[in-house]
Amino acid sequence: EDKVVQSPLSLVVHEGDTVTLNCSYEVTNFRSLLWYKQEKKAPTFLFMLTSSGIEKKSGRLSSILDKKELFSILNITATQTGDSAVYLCAVLGRDDKIIFGKGTRLHILP
Amino acid sequence: DGGITQSPKYLFRKEGQNVTLSCEQNLNHDAMYWYRQDPGQGLRLIYYSQIVNDFQKGDIAEGYSVSREKKESFPLTVTSAQKNPTAFYLCASSIGVLLQETQYFGPGTRLLVL
């Protein structure tokens, strides 16, 4: 059965800290991995990763994929209170279906 | 502005009642999706449609029905057969099947059972 597992499930850090969120997967016919940020309502798209070893960056956020070990990490440096959210990892697999992990709830303390 | 709209924002269902959630997009996307999100859970796919007049079951389609008569619209009906409908429902769309990687989400509808 296809699955996406995120860790940790929740994380509390102080403003300015750096955090690393993990996403491992077992998905048939992997096509791409996606990261989303969900604050109050609908998720917003962060990154799409298709190839191993190529880091994607957007400001203080970065992500990388390892297709051999079947995982991805999302890094956030110099965290701010506005980074508090649930971060969702999703994998696009066979039959064009997308499988989501349960998310990591990140809380940044001022 | 282009985007996805969902209505209503909150919906209350009585026992044995069917209710329909609306999803409209003006992004000219071919593919549309319905997800359900429960507390502490990830998003789970209910139904998806790759093109008008065609749709496929997702992982938890039982108790739900959809239609895709127009490209812009993908309504979801929660039938009385769905025994635990209380959840947050998200609609999404993407350009097409091959470019499905980027999905754009609507604001969601929260369904509560009375």
Work out the minimum CA distance from A83 to partner chain B, whole angstroms: 19
With CA atoms as reference, the chain A residue closest to B5 would be A42
CB contact under 8 A, A103 and B90: no
Rounded to a whole number, what is the largest CA-CA distance in chain B?
41
Residue that is written with structure tokens 């990388």 in the block: A64
Please state whether the peptide bond connecting residue A43 to the residue before it is cis, i.e. omega within 30 degrees of 0.
Answer: no
How far is B42 from chain A, CA to nearest CA, in Å? 4
| Banded pLDDT at B99 (limits 50, 70, 90) | very low
The whole-number pLDDT of residue A64 equals: 96
Residues of chain A whose pLDDT is less than 70?
41, 94-96
Q: Alpha-carbon distance A23 to B52, whole Å? A: 34
Residue among B74, B97, B92, B1 at smallest CA distance from A45: B92
- B40–A contact, CB cutoff 8 A: yes
- Whether B93 and chain A come into contact, CB under 8 Å, resolves to no
C-beta pairs of B51-58 under 8 Å, 24+ apart in sequence: B56/A95, B58/A97, B58/B33, B58/B34
